[in-house]
Amino acid sequence: MTVEPLPAIHAKPLAWTFDGVVRLTRIGSTFLIFTMVIAFAAVNTGNNALYIALTFLLGTLLLSGIASKGGLKHLSVEVTGIGEAWAGRPTGALLRVSNNSPIWNVRDVVIVSADIERPAVIEMISRRSTVTIDASFLFRRRGIVELKRVDLYTRYPFGFFLKKRRVVIHGEVVVFPRLLPDDGAPERFRTVTGEQTSVARPGGGTEIHAFRDYVQGDSLRQVYWKKSASVGRWIVKQTEAEAAQAVHVVVDPFKPRGTSEDDFELMVSETATFIFHALRRGLDVVMTLPRVTLRASGMEQGSALFRALAILEPVYEQIHHTLERNTVLFAVRRSDVTAA
């Protein structure tokens, strides 16, 4: 299944901020204690050599703060190449980090986010250069997920302080529903081979099986123009041979009282799992939702179906469905698959 790559997501330029996070490392704590000891000794003895050493130590701390601030301040982040995103499954992406500083080479930059599976580490970013690294995003729920921010951490240049900069980003990713694991998905969620031998359902042969309204995804070559002209809307003719390759799925988003959000999400996941296995077996899938019907022929066209399931919201009034023979119904109130 192919998905068009999302446009690059750029970091929003912000004024410098520490975000209230500046922490001493173990090395920094040791260095600070040593500096305080030298300061105490210099004040009590008046030794000029100790004052020189104290000046050097304090200058090193000041340089560490200036370097880390200057390095993080000029970093910009760009997220590109996010592919097909499924809830609960890692999704690959690219992070492009640019160092626009004319002075500082920044080392040991760690990038974290609530949606990044594990921290991404950049060993070094030279001044006026860009580094591209792989990152793995992990989205926990389906739907339209807004990418809001990434956090940059560094202990540059001497490792005395762990400093942070928060970068706000703006972008959206459509996350497909969670698929049930292969070892845990009941067999009834997988399209059985026997359905492929039926000749009593729509198909791509020569014998006309039935007529139906045109839905998104149908080929214009299937439109029966004479009948369409007589009824005033596009009508598609179906043939017997297609019956061996098609499955009709009806999704009822009604959420009865007493059912939880997890029950509804499980129903959506079961639907997505069923459709995923059907498409992987080369079957055509027609999915009916309230006010829309979508069709997919093969995995390459399945994105539209999974995208519709990703944004499906529950309704709280019952909907009447007209179920034909061999229609597969998914509904929360039954909590399983029902064949009409």
Helix/strand/coil (H/E/C) assignment for every residue in the chain: CCCCCCCCEEECCCCCCCCCCEEECHHHHHHHHHHHHHHHHHHHHCCHHHHHHHHHHHHHHHHHHHHHHHHHHCEEEEEECCCCEECCCEEEEEEEEEECCCCCCEEEEEEECCCECCCEEEEEECCCEEEEEEEEEECCCCEEEEEEEEEEEECCCCCCEEEEEEEEEEEEEEEECCCCCCCCCCHHHCCCHHHHHCCCCCEEEEEEEEEEECCECCCHHHECHHHHHHHCCCEEEEEHHHHHHEEEEEEECECCCCCCHHHHHHHHHHHHHHHHHHHHCCCEEEEEECCEEEEEECHHHCHHHHHHHHCCCCECCCCCCCCCCCEEEEECCCCCEEEC
pLDDT at 305: 94
CATH 3.30.70.120 assigned to domain 9-176? The reply is no
For residue range 216-271, list pLDDT tens digits in order: 767 777 777 777 777 778 787 776 544 446 788 999 999 888 888 999 999 999 99
User: What is the rounded average pLDDT of the residues 81-88?
Assistant: 89
Domain residue spans of the chain? 9-176, 187-339
pTM for the full model?
A: 0.69
Average pLDDT, the chain: 80
